[in-house]
Amino acid sequence: MKINEIKPLARPAKHRAIAANHGLLMNSDMVRAMAFMDTVRTDCQPYLQAIDYALYDHMLYRGVINTTRQYIAKTVRLEDRQPKDIELELHNRINEYFNEKFGAPFRNSMHVTADEPQAFEYAEGGYNTGAVYTIFPVGKFDFLWSPKISDMLDAAMGHDLQRYGNFGNTERDVTKLEKYWERFKNEALATYQTTDLIGAIKSRNEVMIRCKEYYGFKETAAITKDHWSAYEELVRS
């Protein structure tokens, strides 16, 4: 989908009725928002079903750098993703573990969270070149999360495997490194699962999603959280 070319779809009467049901003015901003959500309704059914269409209660956020547009459509780098924070050697080892256990290298995925401030820190606090988007995976998707790990980087550092530990050093004690790695696998990586997306969202922990493409929606002064009940009615219709 060409996000910048969103136009009202073939349901303007339905859009106006839903807006009226929620006391919302059908201005140009709302027309575009409803058209976007109609596209989400069409293209993102597996995700909508997984969250039981409860958009407001089950939001996932992503901090996206180098853009501040209200609507985005992006492909997900699934094959050769270069990690921004975790050391490459550790990144590859984790991918090997996930590939063996779950059938996919889940570090090569889209990383999202229900913790909006965390997404904000990445997009605007840390990199200061982007914005926070509510995300919608397009089509079939798989996900991975841990009830115990809120952030993989923190977990790796806590097990002496990242930057200030062995993986970040040029001169390493290989025997000690392998002991750290085994403990990290048993205490951290072993807690990950591929079920219960709503539970993952409620945990506010990091969620890794493998899909080919995703849509993103950024709230503005004109389009706020007050509008989500209308969008939810639309995607259920």
Residue whose C-alpha is closest to residue 186's, from 144, 163, 155: 155
Contact (Cβ atoms closer than 8 angstroms) between residue 149 and residue 155: yes
Q: So where are the chain's domains?
A: 6-236
Distance CA 121, CA 124 (A): 6
Contact (Cβ atoms closer than 8 angstroms) between residue 148 and residue 85: no
The pTM assigned to this predicted structure is 0.89
- Helical residues (DSSP H) of 44-140, grouped into ranges: 45-50, 88-102, 116-120
pLDDT at residue 101 greater than cutoff 60: yes
Of the listed ranges 48-52, 71-75, 217-221, 228-232, the one predicted with least confidence: 217-221
pLDDT at residue 5 greater than cutoff 60: no
Cβ neighbours of residue 215 under 8 Å, at least 6 residues apart?
1, 3, 36, 39, 40, 43, 44, 71, 72, 73, 135, 136, 138
pLDDT mean over 94-107: 96
Task: Read off the pLDDT of residues 131-176 as tens digits, 9 standing for 90 and up.
Answer: 899 999 999 999 999 999 999 988 988 887 865 455 655 556 777 7
Q: What amino acid is encoded at 55 in this protein?
A: L
Contact (Cβ atoms closer than 8 angstroms) between residue 59 and residue 207: no
Residue whose C-alpha is closest to residue 133's, from 152, 106, 111: 111
